[in-house]
């Protein structure tokens, strides 16, 4: 039983960390063709932008890596340390694992900076359950800021993200409480509370914190589950002494279902 659980969790652990490239390829792609627009509100976005958004949504839903990667500059950089090559690899692996992803992107704001465009967008991603992978499904929301020069995306930062991955016939309903931003060295609370009554069931779970680095997108972190004595996970964490971004995750397994929630935590200077 322990080996089966470990295998299941190890497989799920890769998914939340790899979901964000699908989101930001959409949020980046929608702004690559409208440098001449003068308005700075989503309501006044030109028709070309709306058409491009539709096209990019469709391409990503089809899992066409070669088509979407053309939006990126050969010298593309990312706040998490990725480049164009690692992005393409991550997308390829992600779409092999989740062949039924669907996307919805909304433009929040944009402005011109010299010859470049800087835009903030929010992307919602949903993945339908797959019978070939333990009934996996996911929901993710990612807010990002990207910079475009000419017709190429040159840089991108993730501002916030939360990903929910579930597996099994009856995954537990989990409520997460975690701030989006803390100061260096600050103490914070991380709660993952199971909403349904436990009854005679037992819970296995684990809370995990790890710095966000480029290699983490392609290499999963093993998880050793522990027996939980209460209806969820309750952890007091402390932010590192240097600014950066952390992934904070909760994995909870109950009966024949598993839930994993991953949220980005920004660590900023005082």
For residue 219, the domain's CATH number is: 2.20.130.20
Of the residues 123, 138, 163, the one at which a domain ends:
163
* pLDDT tens figures, 213-266: 888 877 777 888 899 988 899 999 999 999 999 999 999 998 889 999 999 999
- CA angle 65–71–76, rounded 5-degree value: 100
For residue 50, the domain's CATH number is: 3.10.450.50
Whether 3 is covered by a domain: the verdict is no
Whether 1 is covered by a domain: the verdict is no
96 and 21 co-located in one domain: yes
232 contacts: CB under 8 Å, gap ≥ 6: 174, 191, 192, 193, 194, 203, 205, 252
CB 247 within 8 Å of CB 165: no
Residue 221 Cα distances to 13, 45, 64, 78, 218, angstroms: 7, 41, 28, 22, 10
Whether 159 is covered by a domain: the verdict is yes
The DSSP 8-state label assigned to residue 198 in this structure reads -
Domain of residue 227: give its range. Answer: 165-268
154 and 198 co-located in one domain: no
Of the residues 124, 141, 163, the one at which a domain ends:
163
Of the residues 136, 163, 190, the one at which a domain ends:
163
33 contacts: CB under 8 Å, gap ≥ 6: 48, 49, 52, 151
Question: Taking Cα atoms as reference points, which of 136, 159, 29 lies closest to residue 91?
Answer: 29
* pLDDT tens figures, 96-107: 877 788 887 787
Cα 245 to the center of its chain, rounded Å: 13
What confidence score (pLDDT) does residue 224 get? Answer: 85
H or E element that contains 202: none
Whether 137 is covered by a domain: the verdict is yes
Whether 236 is covered by a domain: the verdict is yes
- Report the domain count for the chain: 2
44 and 117 co-located in one domain: yes
CB 254 within 8 Å of CB 172: yes
What confidence score (pLDDT) does residue 41 get? Answer: 65
170 and 127 co-located in one domain: no
Ranges under pLDDT 50 in the chain: 1-39
Supply 224's token pair.
Answer: 């050793």
198 and 159 co-located in one domain: no
């Amino acid at each position: 039983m322990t080996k089966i659980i470990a295998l299941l969790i190890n497989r799920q652990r890769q998914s939340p960390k790899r979901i964000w490239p699908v989101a930001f390829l959409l949020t980046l792609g929608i702004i690559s063709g409208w440098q001449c627009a003068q308005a700075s509100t989503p309501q006044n976005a030109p028709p070309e932008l709306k058409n491009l958004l539709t096209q990019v949504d469709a391409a990503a839903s089809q899992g066409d890596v070669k088509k979407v990667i053309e939006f990126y500059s050969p010298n593309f950089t990312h706040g998490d340390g990725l480049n164009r090559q690692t992005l393409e690899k991550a997308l390829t692996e992600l779409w092999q694992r989740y062949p039924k992803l669907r996307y919805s992107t909304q433009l929040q704001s944009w402005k011109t900076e010299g010859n470049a465009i800087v835009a903030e967008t929010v992307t919602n991603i949903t993945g339908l359950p797959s019978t070939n992978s333990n009934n996996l499904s996911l929901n993710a929301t990612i807010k990002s800021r990207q910079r475009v020069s000419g017709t190429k995306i040159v840089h991108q930062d993730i501002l916030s993200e939360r990903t929910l991955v579930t597996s099994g016939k009856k995954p537990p309903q989990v409520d997460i409480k975690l701030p989006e931003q803390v100061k260096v060295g600050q103490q914070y609370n991380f709660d993952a509370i199971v909403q349904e009554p436990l009854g005679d069931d037992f819970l296995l779970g684990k809370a995990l914190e790890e710095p966000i680095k480029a290699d983490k997108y392609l290499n999963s972190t093993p998880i050793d589950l522990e027996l939980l004595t209460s209806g969820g996970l309750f952890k007091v964490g402390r932010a590192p002494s240097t600014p950066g971004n952390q992934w904070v995750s909760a994995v909870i397994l109950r009966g024949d279902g598993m839930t994993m929630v991953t949220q980005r935590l920004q660590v900023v200077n005082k």
